[in-house]
Structures are given as structure tokens and as C-alpha cells.
Amino acid sequence: MNKYLLAILVYILSSNLTASANSYSLFGGTYDYDDDNTTNLIGLNYHISNSEIDLLNFLTINPVVGGLVTAKSASMFYGGFETNLGSDLIYLNLSSSAGIYSNGDGKDLGNAIQFKSEVNLLYSLSDKTRIGIGSHHISNAGLDSVNPGTNNFYLIFNRNF
């Protein structure tokens, strides 16, 4: 599974996807920081801006897709929605996604269906580049009797296409 994730990430990074994605985020940090299965993680998100959805003229959400892999070969591909709250200079990025998880040699999260809730704080270095910190929680939302979940934190580099 991790070979496929790596191949997909390399393909996406080398492709010209300006028609469908307005930015990408590369992130890396600590997976499962509050447990004995702590390891490193790296991931990539695509933030799709040309498919905005206005909710009650109050909140705009956008699709987001991505994947992550850990040093213990756990991996997850996911898709969901996100919103940004704040100014152009500094803002919160909130997202919720569902995806397919493989535990590899890492933590068993109960089943392949997992959900990810995420909060990121980003600072704009320029009109195209942002850096930030973030955290997300992954769990199966009680779909299985085994549901330990993971809490993760990371640094983010975000760039517009």
C-alpha cells in the first residue's frame, strides 16, 4: 500500500493540476504523540478552490483530498471538506474527511474506514506561500469495537499553484 501512496504522491507532484487545485500543503510531524506507538508522519493535501460551496451565505467550504504515511508504514487516503476562518495574513483552516486506512506495522485503528478532523493555523509569507502548524485526530467514530484513535501534530508548508 505504501508503494502505491508514494507513486501517487510523486505523480501528483510532477503533474500540472492547475485546473483543479488551487493549492497544496505538504506536512510532516508526529503521529500518535500521546501513545506508545508514536512515530513520524508525512502527508500531502490538495485544496480545491474552484468548487466552493456557500452554506447559508455564511460559511464557504471547499473540497480537500490527501494522503499521509507514517514511519511505521501506516497510511491513509481521504477526502472531505474544509473552511478558512480569519484574515489573509493569518487564519484557521478547519476540515473534516473520511478515508481508507491501512495500519501497516503501526497502530491498529479497528478497520479500514476512518474519519479525520483537523485544525491548522497558517501564516501568509506572501500571496502564494503560507507556513503553519496543525493537528488532526483520526478514528473510526465507533464503527468498530476497537477504536483507539490517533492524535497527531505537524508543521505545514502551503503553496498556491
CATH number of the domain encompassing residue 98: 2.40.160.20
What is the predicted pLDDT for the residue at 56? Answer: 76
What is the predicted pLDDT for the residue at 6? Answer: 54
Residues spanned by the domain of 148: 2-160
What is the predicted pLDDT for the residue at 131? Answer: 98
| Domain count along the chain | 1
| Mean pLDDT, the chain cut into blocks of 10 residues (161 residues total) | 54 40 91 91 93 80 96 97 92 97 94 97 95 97 93 97 81
* Three-state SS at 24: strand
Cα–Cα distances (Å) from 75 to 3, 119, 121, 140, 156, in that order, read 10, 20, 24, 14, 18
* Geometric angle at alpha carbon 44, from 148 and 80, rounded to 5°: 65
Burial state string for 23-32 with b = 16 or more CB within 10 A and e = fewer than 16: bbbbbebbbb
What is the predicted pLDDT for the residue at 5? Answer: 52
> In whole angstroms, what is the distance from residue 88 CA to residue 122 CA?
10
